[in-house]
Amino acid sequence: MHVQKMASPIGVLGGSFDPIHAGHLALARAACDGLGLAQLLFIPAAQPWQKGVLTPGEQRAHMVELAIAGDLRMSVDRCELARGGPSYTIDTLRELRTRYGAEVPLVLLIGADQMERFDTWHDWRSILGLVHLGVARRNDAVLVLSYALQEFYNEHWAHVEEMRSESNGRIVEVEMAPHDVSATEVRTLLAAPAGVECDARLAQVVPAPVLDYIRAHRLYP
């Protein structure tokens, strides 16, 4: 019996990226390596419906471009910025599925914290009809899921090899080292008075070209 070989999967990593930091990049690299992604799309949100005011979208997108420069697997997709208005993941995934066709495996990458509140997302039960989910697991961290989400997780969980043979419908885990950093911490550090410890931490968690851009444009004062 002939089994049709699927195309290599494409990863999708959405977010505010306000600003992009080492945690985002660690997830992206772990997913590219662990899932064998052909490419990974960073998709800056226009206006996440669960968040407040953001830095202008084009500046956030440019910071992502600076952060991933040189890695040919990764690129910035401005589809949500072009669409404008509230950014609902389900709308973006439908647009991507139309663009890439029904056969290409697409993998939406999310953190464990996002998985734990996945049932608050708009039309969340339709998402696996379009893509796989790649859930970041940091070491032995335990997912704390509601009963309904745990059932959903167990029903769709799969090994990476299974995910690569289908275009959507599976939940796989992306193993990655812990990165204790958030965009909120980065913005707080940037707004604080300059100091040796503060500057050292920023250099650790924000790529140098991004940090230079932030300071040149006086973002996050």
Both tokens of 138, joined, read 């940091």
- What does the pLDDT look like over 126-158, one tens digit per residue? 999 999 999 998 766 788 999 999 999 999 999
Range of the domain at 137: 10-180
Q: pTM of the predicted model, to two decimals?
A: 0.93
Q: What is the pLDDT of residue 61?
A: 98
Per the domain annotation, does 79 fall within a domain?
Answer: yes
pLDDT attached to residue 7: 82
179-to-25, 38, 98, 218 alpha-carbon distances in Å: 10, 24, 34, 26
198 occurs within a structural domain: no
The domain total for the chain is 1
pLDDT above 50: residue 50: yes
> Residue 134 in 3-state DSSP?
strand
Burial of 120 (0-12, 13-18, 19+ CB in 10 A): exposed
Higher pLDDT, 72 or 1: 72
Q: What is the pairing mode between strands 10-15 and 39-44?
A: parallel
pLDDT category at 51 given cuts 50, 70, 90 is low
Residue 217 lies in a domain: no
Q: Which residues contact 104 (CB under 8 A, 6 or more apart)?
A: 6, 7, 9, 10, 167
Amino acid at the residue 137: R
Q: Is residue 61, in this structure, part of any structural domain at all?
A: yes
Among 22, 29, 41, 34, residue whose Cα is nearest residue 203: 22
Percent of the chain residues topping a pLDDT of 70: 95
- The full DSSP string for 163-176 is HTTSSS--EEEEEE
Closest by Cα among 156, 89, 79 to 121: 89
pLDDT tens-digit profile of 79-112?
999 998 888 999 999 999 999 999 999 999 999 9
pLDDT confidence band for 194 (50 / 70 / 90)? confident
Query: 149, 161 in Cβ contact below 8 A?
Result: no
Which tokens go with 94? 């439908």
Q: What is the CATH number of the domain that holds 19?
A: 3.40.50.620
Is 75's pLDDT higher than 90?
yes
Our separate counts of H helices and E strands in the chain read 10, 8
Which of 199, 178, 204, 179 lies closest to 189 in space, CA to CA? 199
In a domain, 74, yes or no: yes
pLDDT at position 15 over 80: yes
The pLDDT of 170-176, averaged and rounded, is 95
β-sheet bridge partners, residue 75: 41
* pLDDT confidence of residue 1: 38
Would you state the pLDDT for residue 209? 98
